[in-house]
Structure 1
Amino acid sequence: MSIHPTLLKIFNVLSLMAVTSTAAIFGRDVFKAYSHPHLLQVDIWGYGAPILVTLLVVGFPIAQWFDSAHDVIVEAVSWHFAVSNLVVSFWIFCWYQGWMVLSEVAIVLNFILVWRVYTKMRVFTATNLLTYASIHVAFSVYSSVAWIDIFQNFFAAFTDETSSNPFIVALALGSLLTLTGLGWYQAELSRDPDSWSAATIIFSIYAIVYYQSEQEDPARSIIVLGLIALGFLFNSFARRGIRNIEIIRGRDDIISNDERRGLLG
């Protein structure tokens, strides 16, 4: 979409103000909805990454006005960040209203938008620390947290506080297999696979085990399932590594054959 750069940057600032205002207005009442088993407890694991994302993204409205960040803002970030902020505002409102299934739809849409930014901005090289921290690092961390948001919101949408039967384990199975599939796809087809895919899956497994620590059997099942999921992900990275080694060896063979070839062919 072609948008005048100045208008785009102003829209980025206004959308960030909108999501901040929404969180301030509805945030206190949203905490009442945390009776849902969202699986991220009130500790450093539950709030450390979101706080880091917030600190980094706050620097984004400043970094975007520098000339060095012009290309990555206009061509890579484009309208995705502004629309993402509006979607997050709607997501907060859904929690306030108790529309948990609709909130899952919103958070999946936000993940697509953030992932789109992350994949497009990797071709741009940061020329200063502010651009690197507020744009490249910010969206890299944000994209990994978006995976966790999908995962925990899934449980909040489709379970309740009294759920203590094997159905939760079935939901965990479906969620982790989905994460495994996404991680495998990303590792196999992306030109630049990242370690945060595996880290996010580990984070999600930890959250489930922590939440269900008093239920021995489900926790044991989740651990086994998590090892299987990580095995699939490791396999995809290993296959990519082997393929890269084969490519390098193929190039060496071509060079060796050229060196052995006679001057007259």
Structure 2
Amino acid sequence: MSKFHIFQKVVNVVVYLFFLSTTVYSVVGPAPEDGSASDGQTYITPSFWIEWVWTVIHLLLGAFVIYQWFESAHEQAIHGVGWHFVISVLLNAAWLALVKHNHYIIGFVFLLLTASSVSFVFYNLANNHPASTWYHKLFIHAPFSLWHGWIVFSAVVGLFQAFSHTSEEGPGVWSRIFVIIGLLFLTFTSVGYVEYKKQKGDITSAFVIALGLLAVFTNQSDNWIRWVAFAGAIVSFLYPARPYVFKLVGRNTEAENAPLLG
């Protein structure tokens, strides 16, 4: 291991601790009070409990920054993830800080930049550094699969935060249509994760989106929006089980051998 690679791994540890400090309060702290909870609310905003996804993301990323020091993880950590971990963390921290101060439009820009950086790692690992052991799957691939699914879900919510608003009368026809389009996009994206090049099917990201859709259902009151979100959540939860259902009824599919993690 070269001195430069040691330096890179040390930086990964430092930025991980920074990342943890910028988000942990929003997860373990109290839910927003009624007055502050209305800031940034949209017709697709999920329930606050979905923020606990951050806990799992941080735990897995913490496992990554520890596992990167093992020789078996060196190739994937250095060449599969590389400096994009540092870039993603800094962009993600900027996005959270901007949203906290109600700068939703510029925050959405940083959210897209974060999504781009995390996507690079997600697809680079899937295409060029496939997991060869369960350690690789759990400590390298899983954190970025989970993060990627969460960023995709957040990007849809962030879009509505930046360019829409709520009304005391409830959503109008066009607001309802656009929200439903967003929910359908998330549902098809979760299916796309599972179908991604068949052999690289990824249910981790799909599961995050399914939870997000369920959180939209539990938070919204408009019947059109909440029941479309519920239907999307059910599809997203059940679709990954499709190969096992087919297996039970005696039908073979290519997806039967798809790995759980990308």
Q: TM-score, normalised by structure 2?
A: 0.70
User: What corresponds to 2:104 in structure 1?
Assistant: 100
1:171 aligns with 2:175: no
1:120 aligns with 2:133: no
User: What corresponds to 2:144 in structure 1?
Assistant: 139
**Identical amino acids, percent of aligned pairs:** 21
User: What corresponds to 2:75 in structure 1?
Assistant: 71
User: What corresponds to 1:42 in structure 2?
Assistant: 48
User: What corresponds to 1:17 in structure 2?
Assistant: 17
Q: Gaps (5+ residues) in structure 2?
A: 244-250, 256-262
Deviation, 1:126, is 5.2
Distance 1:34 1:79 in 2: 37
User: What corresponds to 1:82 in structure 2?
Assistant: 86
One-letter identity of the residue aligned with 2:180? L
Deviation, 1:121, is 2.2
User: What corresponds to 1:203 in structure 2?
Assistant: 211
Change beyond 3 A, Cα 1:181–1:219: closer
One-letter identity of the residue aligned with 1:133? L
User: What corresponds to 1:251 in structure 2?
Assistant: none
Distance 1:152 1:51 in 2: 19
Deviation, 1:217, is 4.1
Deviation, 1:78, is 0.8
Alpha-carbon RMSD: 3.8
User: What corresponds to 2:259 in structure 1?
Assistant: none
**CA displacement, residues 8-59 of structure 1 (integer Å, 9 cap, x when unaligned):** 212212322333344479998x96476222622233xx13322111111122
* Number of corresponding residues: 231
Deviation, 1:76, is 0.3
**CA displacement, residues 74-123 of structure 1 (integer Å, 9 cap, x when unaligned):** 11001111100010111022113321022222222222222221222243
Change beyond 3 A, Cα 1:24–1:200: closer
Secondary structure, aligned partner of 1:36: coil
Deviation, 1:223, is 5.3
Distance 2:46 2:24 in 1: 21
User: 1:33–1:95: 8 Å Cα contact kept in structure 2?
Assistant: no
Distance 2:114 2:181 in 1: 20
Higher share in helix: 1
Q: Gaps (5+ residues) in structure 1?
A: 246-265
Deviation, 1:193, is 2.2
Distance 1:105 1:190 in 2: 32
**CA displacement, residues 195-225 of structure 1 (integer Å, 9 cap, x when unaligned):** 3454344334323322223x3344345557x
User: What corresponds to 2:246 in structure 1?
Assistant: none
Change beyond 3 A, Cα 1:42–1:204: closer
Moved more, 195-204 or 147-156: 195-204
Q: TM-score, normalised by structure 1?
A: 0.69
Match of 1:61 among 58, 61, 65: 65
Change beyond 3 A, Cα 1:210–1:185: closer
User: 2:148–2:205: 8 Å Cα contact kept in structure 1?
Assistant: no
Q: Which has the larger radius of gyration?
A: 1
